[in-house]
Structure 1
Amino acid sequence: MQPGYPQGVSDKSKVVAGVLQILLGAFGVGRFYMGDTKTGVIQLIVTLVTCGFGGIWGFVDGILILVKGGVDGQGRPLRD
C-alpha cells in the first residue's frame, strides 16, 4: 500500500455513479454521489453558464466512469 492513499474499496458503486452522470451529469449528480463535490459544482456552473451545452461534459464523464471506474471523495476506487 502506498502512503497517503486510503485502504479498501469505496462503498459507492461505479454503475450507480456512471448512470447518474449520464442521466443527470449536467447537474453533477454522479460526482456529488461519489463525494467529489468540487467537480460536481464545476459541472453545474459550466452547464448554467453555457445554457445547457456544458451538460455534454457530464454525459461523457458518466461513460468514462462506467468504462474506467473512478475514485470516491476519499480516494478509494469505486466498487463494481
Structure 2
Amino acid sequence: MSVPTPQSPYGVDPQGRPYSDKSKIVAGILQIFLGSFGAGRFYVGSTGVAIAQLLTCGGLGVWALIDGILFLTSNDRTDKHGNVLRG
C-alpha cells in the first residue's frame, strides 16, 4: 500500500486506484449472512442492486451467496464512489 494522500486517505492499489473506506471482508460477510436483505450491497453503496436483492430475497439466497463470495475473492469490487474496496 502506498502513502496516504488527501485525495486517497487509505492509499492506492497497485494500479493507482484509490482505496475505499469500506472493507471487502465486511461486505462479503454481510452479503453471505444477510444477503437476502442486500446488506453487503447497502454497505458499499449499491442501493439499486441492494433493493433488487431485498425484493427477490437475494435471488432466493443463490445470488446473495455468489455475490458474497465474489466480494471476498475479487480485487476489482468498488464502492459507490468507484474506489476499490480494501482487503
- TM-score bracket relative to the smaller structure: 0.7 to 0.9
Q: Percent identity, please.
A: 50
More helix by share: 1
Query: Which residue of 49, 53, 58 corresponds with 1:43?
Result: 53
Contact 2:53 2:59 in 1 (8 A): no
**1:76 equivalent in structure 2:** 83
Cα distance between partner residues in 2 of 1:53 and 1:41: 12
Contact 2:46 2:79 in 1 (8 A): yes
Give 5+ residue unaligned stretches, structure 2: 1-16
Query: Is 1:64 aligned with 2:70?
Result: yes
Q: Which has the higher contact order (CA 8 A, sep 6+)?
A: 1
Cα RMSD, aligned residues only: 1.5
Cα distance between partner residues in 2 of 1:37 and 1:53: 16
Give 5+ residue unaligned stretches, structure 1: 1-6
Query: Is 1:20 aligned with 2:24?
Result: no
Q: Which structure's CA Rg is the greater one? A: 2
**1:54 equivalent in structure 2:** 60
Cα distance between partner residues in 2 of 1:31 and 1:14: 11
How many Å apart are 1:8 and its aligned residue? 1.5
More strand by share: 2
- Residue 31 of structure 1 aligns to a residue whose secondary structure is helix
Q: How many residue pairs align between the two structures?
A: 70
Query: Which residue of 31, 36, 44 corresponds with 2:41?
Result: 31
